[in-house]
């Protein structure tokens, strides 16, 4: 992580496992603080110490682990937590603490580095929220007429107590607008507490919002504050309000009407001194017609609606947004990148269905592929070049949406990467491949050994290895159907829209469960990639409900 030494909290009562995890963390030259995985943890935590993340086993006695998570939630509510598991994905969802995902043991370098990166980014955001003195808003970039209108509305509504409903497609910047309202209001020195109502299972949402008393339900081993309490005096941001279940809508409406609430399992009424800002990408009026959203709640929230326009309606904002996104990458010490005028012009012609989030993903990727270099048109994802009518050279059209050939494909096609960028491309491809490999549920060695390719269906292999395995052509390694069939001699299963190729049965067969799980994971990653990180679109591509996909993302620890 670029020489940055951080403190990692390892909470585990199993000495052997804790030693192994500690060794892996120390190998990466980070510091370790050990502690118990139960309520005793309260004695160990030092409030002024800056931990980067906590690791806690998902196996073992659930109640003890839950007690440790409760302590973390009470004392360090923003500390990112990863569960560590020896037996595949953690089952069940632990309430409390800031659990970002599960890491498989043995802990591998790429897997841990990815988790640490996620944790550090979250810590930076938390720090930014905390350090913002008396209402310094996060930057809302955009000089287009529609964004000027949004900025005016923010100014008008900020210093009132009115509920605000922010409407707009996914990734347009609704949360940024909500933060701007909060940090320009008289509540700016009190918390801004976001909650994604669509991502939290219905039965947990009530306790997330209003808190619970000890023993209110199985697993509630201690009392806990909800987001309404945490936001006291400040603002609660109810994101994806359109995904809230009808019974929960009734409860929320009551709180908004009476301005009071009770923790689950308590009859002590508390005042809800909280400003409410809600957001949705849904057409709530249509949801009302479909009996999916309560009209009375809609009117209660929709006191002051703000519509954030999609990026395609304001292409003139693209250059300033890119500037802002690069500034963030630089500030987080993740490198830098520049854009040629022709690349900027090309980017401005694309429709950006995933809006600013999609733009941010593209900028992030280019900052790796063209690190400290100037992005040219040829570096842009194929879909963007095509949208601008730029002829696409097949040699630069390999990676889905990436626009850069893998080293293996480069070799196969005799194309050399540009000077300097070749190494960055190789590094990015290797990182991508190792991350995918790390996420595989099969237990593997702690070192960076290549995965056992024979155990993985050929369909999945392209992402597992940057170099084609012995006996497979580059085309086969990159998923070319002819190569697969030639190499494996097994008939592919072909359905309209997809093909799954076979297994080399002579090499000991396949672990069906692991392969299916891997296949599911890979399809989700591909769909997300194709949908530019827009979960709702990826869910549609996979014929899943959005909430189901959100749960699977959490299960497989796939970053959006
Ligand atoms: N005008 C803007 N200025 C600066 N950054 C922006 C702007 N709009 C969006 N972003 C950035 O784009 C990303 C997505 O924005 P945000 O999360 O606010 O979108 P959203 O509309 O709330 O998405 P969703 O509906 O999926 O929750 C964030 O990284 C955000 O900082």
What's the pLDDT score for residue 479? 35
What value of ipTM does the predicted structure carry?
A: 0.98
Q: Which CATH architecture has domain 158-308?
A: 3-Layer(aba) Sandwich (3.40)
Rounded to the nearest angstrom, the distance between the alpha carbon of 357 and the centre of ligand 1 is 6
Q: Does domain 7-113 have CATH number 3.30.1330.60?
A: no
**pLDDT score at 500:** 64
Going from the Cα of 140 to the center of ligand 1, the distance in angstroms, rounded, reads: 9
Question: Could you report the per-residue pLDDT of 63-83, keeping only the tens digit for each?
Answer: 788 888 878 877 887 888 888
172 lines ligand 1 (CB under 6 A): yes
Ligand 1 within 6 A of 314 CB?
no
CA-CA distances (angstroms) from residue 432 to 2, 304, 369?
A: 18, 44, 12
Pairing mode, strands 164-167 and 304-307: parallel
Reported for 528-531, long-range contacts at CB under 8 A and 24+ positions apart, including other chains, are 528/553, 528/558, 528/560, 529/400, 529/401, 530/400, 530/401, 531/354
Q: How far is the CA of 176 from the centre of ligand 1 (A)?
A: 6
Per-residue pLDDT, averaged over 276-304, amounts to 96
pLDDT in tens, 514-540: 677 778 888 888 888 888 888 888 888
Largest CA distance in the chain: 73
DSSP percent split of the chain into helix, strand, coil, nearest 5? 45, 15, 40
Query: b/e per residue, 149-171, with b = 16+ CB within 10 A?
Result: ebeebbeebbeeeebbbbbbbbb
Ramachandran region, residue 103 (left: φ > 0; alpha: ψ -120 to 50; beta: rest): beta
Q: DSSP E strands: which ranges in 65-199?
A: 80-85, 98-104, 164-167, 192-196
Other residues' Cβ atoms within 10 Å of the Cβ of residue 376: 15
**Domain limits of the chain?**
7-113, 158-308, 312-404, 439-445+455-556
Angle at 211 between CA 34 and CA 184, to 5 degrees: 95
Residue 410: pLDDT above 90? no
Q: How far is the CA of 91 from the centre of ligand 1 (A)?
A: 31
pLDDT digits (tens, 9 = 90+) for 33-58: 999 988 888 888 886 788 999 999 88
Tokens matching residue 447: 């070192």
pLDDT tens per residue, range 76-134? 878 888 888 887 554 444 545 677 777 888 888 888 888 888 888 878 777 766 665 54
CA of 120 from ligand 1 middle (Å) equals 19
Q: Check residue 415 and give its pLDDT.
A: 29
Give the pLDDT of residue 355.
96
If you average pLDDT over each of 206-215, 305-314, 325-334, 543-552, which comes out highest? 305-314
Contact present, 21 and 105 (Cβ < 8 Å): yes
* Confidence category of residue 416, pLDDT binned at 50, 70, 90: very low
Instruction: Look at ligand 1, atom 10, and give the residue with the nearest C-alpha.
Output: 173
* Residue 396 binned pLDDT confidence (cut-offs 50, 70, 90): low
Q: Is the CB of 242 under 6 A from ligand 1?
A: no
510 vs 162: which has the higher pLDDT:
162
Q: What angle do CA 72, 76, 80 make, to 5 degrees?
A: 80
Residue range 407-433: average pLDDT?
31
Q: Phi/psi at 268 (nearest 5 deg)?
A: -85, 120
Taking the CB of residue 341, how many other CB atoms lie within 10 A of it? 9
Cis peptide before 547 (omega within 30 of 0): no
Q: What angle do the packed helices 109-131 and 15-27 form, to 10 degrees?
A: 80
Same topology, domains 158-308 and 312-404? Answer is no
φ, ψ for residue 235, nearest 5 deg: -130, 135
Q: Is 324 in the pocket of ligand 1 (CB under 6 A)?
A: yes
Query: Lowest mean pLDDT: which of 134-138, 147-151, 482-486?
Result: 482-486
Would you say the CB of residue 168 lies under 6 angstroms from ligand 1?
A: yes
pLDDT band at 501 (very low <50, low <70, confident <90, very high): low
Q: Which of 144, 166, 352, 357 to mutate to test the pocket of ligand 1 (most atoms within 8 A of CB)?
A: 357
Centre of ligand 1 from the C-alpha of residue 401, in Å: 21
Mean pLDDT of the chain: 77
CATH fold for domain 312-404? Helicase, Ruva Protein; domain 3 (1.10.8)
- Residue 374's closest CA among 438, 421, 417, 330? 421
Q: How far is the CA of 307 from the centre of ligand 1 (A)?
A: 13
Cβ of 142 below 6 Å from ligand 1? yes
Q: What are phi and psi of 238, to 5 degrees?
A: -90, 90
Question: Which residue's C-alpha comes closest to atom 18 of ligand 1?
Answer: 173
**Separation of 355 CA from ligand 1 center, angstroms?**
8
Q: Is the CB of 170 under 6 A from ligand 1?
A: yes
Higher pLDDT: 482 or 330? It is 330
């Amino acid at each position: 992580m670029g020489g940055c030494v951080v403190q990692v909290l390892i909470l585990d009562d199993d000495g052997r496992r804790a030693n192994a995890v500690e060794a892996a963390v120390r190998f990466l030259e980070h510091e370790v603080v050990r502690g118990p995985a139960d309520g005793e943890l309260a004695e160990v935590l030092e409030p002024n110490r800056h931990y980067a993340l906590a690791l806690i086993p998902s196996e073992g006695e659930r109640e003890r682990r839950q007690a440790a998570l409760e302590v973390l939630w009470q004392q360090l509510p923003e500390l990112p937590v990863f569960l560590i598991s020896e037996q595949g994905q953690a089952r069940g969802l632990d309430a409390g603490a800031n659990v970002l995902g599960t890491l498989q043991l043995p802990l591998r370098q790429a897997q841990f580095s990815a988790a640490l990166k996620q944790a550090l980014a979250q810590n930076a955001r938390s720090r930014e929220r905390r350090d913002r003195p008396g209402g310094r808003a996060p930057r809302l970039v955009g000089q287009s007429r529609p964004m000027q209108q949004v900025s005016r509305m923010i100014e008008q509504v900020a210093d009132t107590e009115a509920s605000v409903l922010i409407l707009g497609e996914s990734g347009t910047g609704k949360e940024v607008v909500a933060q701007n309202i909060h940090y320009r209001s008289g509540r700016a020195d009190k918390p801004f507490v976001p909650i994604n109502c669509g991502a939290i299972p219905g039965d947990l949402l009530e306790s997330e919002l209003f808190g619970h008393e000890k023993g209110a339900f199985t697993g509630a081993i201690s009392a806990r504050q909800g987001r309404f309490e945490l936001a006291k005096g400040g603002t609660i941001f109810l994101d994806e309000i359109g995904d809230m279940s009808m019974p929960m809508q009734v409860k929320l409406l009551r709180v908004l009407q009476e301005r009071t609430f009770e923790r689950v399992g308590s009859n002590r009424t508390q005042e809800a001194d909280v400003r409410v800002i809600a957001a949705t990408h849904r057409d709530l009026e249509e949801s009302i017609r479909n009996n999916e959203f309560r009209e009375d709640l809609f009117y209660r929230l929709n006191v002051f609606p703000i519509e954030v326009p999609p990026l395609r309606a304001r292409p003139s904002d693209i250059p300033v947004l890119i500037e802002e996104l690069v500034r963030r990458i630089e500030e987080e010490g993740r490198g830098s990148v520049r854009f040629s005028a022709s690349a900027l012009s090309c980017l401005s012609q694309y429709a950006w269905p995933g809006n600013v989030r999609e733009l941010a993903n593209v900028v992030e990727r280019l900052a790796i592929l063209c690190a400290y270099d100037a992005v040219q048109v040829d570096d842009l994802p194929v879909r963007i070049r095509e949208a601008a009518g730029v002829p696409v050279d097949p040699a630069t059209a390999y990676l889905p949406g990436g626009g850069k050939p893998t080293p293996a494909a480069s070799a196969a096609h005799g194309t050399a990467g540009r000077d300097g960028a070749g190494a960055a491309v190789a590094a990015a491809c290797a990182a991508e491949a190792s991350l995918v490999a790390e996420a595989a549920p099969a237990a593997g060695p702690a070192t960076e050994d290549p995965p056992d390719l024979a155990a993985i269906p050929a369909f999945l292999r392209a992402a597992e290895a940057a170099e084609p395995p012995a006996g497979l052509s580059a085309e086969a390694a990159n998923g070319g159907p002819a190569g697969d069939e030639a190499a494996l001699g097994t008939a592919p299963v072909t359905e309209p829209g997809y093909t799954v190729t076979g297994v080399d049965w002579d090499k000991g067969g396949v672990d069906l469960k692991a392969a299916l799980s891997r296949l599911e994971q890979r399809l989700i990653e591909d769909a997300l990639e194709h949908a530019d990180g827009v979960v709702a679109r990826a869910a549609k591509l996979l014929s899943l409900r959005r909430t189901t996909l959100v749960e699977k993302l959490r299960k497989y620890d796939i970053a959006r």
